[in-house]
Amino acid sequence: MDEAASPDVWLSTQERQSDGHVDILTKIRNGYRLSVHLQPNHEILATDAPEYLETYTLPFIFAEGDTFAGLTRPAHHHRNDDGGYDALSFSYTNALPYYSIVFTRMVKPETGEIAVKLMSRNHYRVHDFALRPPGKQVFEVQRSQEGHRRTDRGLADSLKSGGQHYLVAELEGGNSMSMPVDIGYAFLPSAGFEFRTESYVTSSHCMRPSSFNFALLEQDPQIAGRMAHPSFDADMFLPLQFTYFRFRDDGAYWTAATDDGDPAGQFRKLTVFEYP
């Protein structure tokens, strides 16, 4: 069957209710790539513009438990009210009924915070997560009783041929993530490997979606109902984070905050894929 016609290429959460969120996360951990398919609700937005469909690829995915957030690169051109320009990123989650905008140039250096707007998911008539098939797996490191076991499926050859990569990591604490690789190193002559992800400024709520949702519900147990109303929006400043991680094949990883020091922790499993 032609891959473009495969039913697994575009997996809609509305079309396949039985799969549910947990199954989507299983697929993401197996290398599937996430997108969001949107159709704005023009009646709610009160616009006479033609109806349209849109989609965003979500190359950054952060999961806590059964909750995940998918994040775009900060590549959406936006003109601010003051006449200046910004490059926005968008985050979509499978939990509370909101999506968020991260204003990557609206940062408070003195507090380490970044501007975020939460908006009702019901701005959209259609809001579906969709999955694309995984690329070729070229490398894997998995923790075992004997240490971290490496399985090399041609990573060096993929690097030599100019392949582009993304990785899926399952951390020791149980959180997982899927992110584009900025650069991969094959060290000579030790045959060791290291992978560094693309680094963008973002908000903590994108990287810890379950913790953020729990905090919102603690502050306002009725917030899910308020978010469901199409007029809902909330502006806030949240702790600034970077999407940067550095993974080494001995099981250690670093974040932007720890990159010059000791590892931030250990991972259970790391899988590297070549983009199709």
Indicate if 178 and 255 belong to the same structural domain.
yes
- Per-residue pLDDT reduced to its tens digit, 102-114: 999 899 999 999 9
Indicate if 99 and 221 belong to the same structural domain.
yes
Q: Look at the chain and report how many structural domains it folds into.
A: 2
Indicate if 110 and 211 belong to the same structural domain.
yes
Q: Pairing state of beta strands 245-248 and 136-144?
A: unpaired
* 66 vs 221: CA distance, rounded Å: 20
Indicate if 107 and 152 belong to the same structural domain.
no
- Per-residue pLDDT reduced to its tens digit, 54-66: 999 999 999 998 9
Indicate if 235 and 115 belong to the same structural domain.
yes
Q: What angle do CA 202, 259, 201 make, to 5 degrees?
A: 10
Indicate if 140 and 225 belong to the same structural domain.
no
Indicate if 83 and 168 belong to the same structural domain.
no
Indicate if 249 and 206 belong to the same structural domain.
no
Average pLDDT, the chain: 88
Indicate if 256 and 126 belong to the same structural domain.
no
Indicate if 236 and 263 belong to the same structural domain.
no
Indicate if 232 and 100 belong to the same structural domain.
yes
In the DSSP assignment, the letter for residue 51 is P
Phi and psi torsions of 186, nearest 5°: -110, 105
Indicate if 36 and 84 belong to the same structural domain.
yes
Total H helices, total E strands in the chain: 6, 19
* 26 vs 31: CA distance, rounded Å: 9
State residue 2's pLDDT score. Answer: 39
Which tokens in the block code for residue 15?
């079309």
Q: What angle do CA 186, 189, 190 make, to 5 degrees?
A: 75
* 237 vs 181: CA distance, rounded Å: 28
- Per the structure, the complete domain to which residue 17 belongs is given by 3-132+200-242
State residue 263's pLDDT score. Answer: 95
